[in-house]
Amino acid sequence: QVQLVESGGGLVEAGGSLRLSCAASGSIFSIVTMGWYRQAPGKQRELVAVITSGGSTNYADSVKGRFAISRDNAKNTVYLQMNSLKPEDTAVYYCNLKDYRVFWGQGTQVTVSS
């Protein structure tokens, strides 16, 4: 089993920044993709950003140029630096880990006030 523990959410004004962290523990294989998804009220969960074990990244168009995903393989931790936040970024953000299995974190609330 794998456990994902997220931290770093909160309330911020539009234009501000937040940094999310997700630490993975348990039976983790070396070749995994980690990422962040978000779900706003009344909407489907959507991809925000993912990063492979080799460091390749993919971003949603809506966050390109504002968000940056990174990882520390030694710590099994993935980060999401969110800059220039907008009210439409308000959502619950979920950490995700994939090898041949899929695991989710419990989610952390990000609220951006206008």
Report the percentage of the chain scoring pLDDT > 70.
Answer: 100
Q: Average pLDDT in the 88-107 region? A: 95
Q: What per-residue confidence (pLDDT) applies to 103?
A: 94
Whose tokens are 């952390």? That residue is 108
Q: Average pLDDT in the 2-27 region? A: 95
Which residue did the predictor score with more confidence, 106 or 29?
Answer: 106
The answer to whether residue 86 scores a pLDDT higher than 80 is yes
pLDDT tens digits, one per residue of 32-81? 899 999 999 999 999 999 999 899 999 999 999 999 999 998 898 999 99
Q: Which H helix or E strand runs over 38?
A: strand 33-39
Sign of the Cα torsion 45, 93, 24, 72 reads positive
The answer to whether residue 31 scores a pLDDT higher than 80 is no
C-alpha separations of 90 from 50, 62, 97 in Å: 19, 13, 22
The answer to whether residue 83 scores a pLDDT higher than 80 is yes
Q: What per-residue confidence (pLDDT) applies to 1?
A: 86
C-alpha neighbours within 13 Å on the C-beta side of residue 41: 5
- Band (27; pLDDT cuts 50, 70, 90): confident
The backbone torsions φ and ψ at residue 9, rounded to the nearest 5 degrees and listed phi first, read -70, 175
What is the DSSP-derived secondary structure letter of residue 87? G
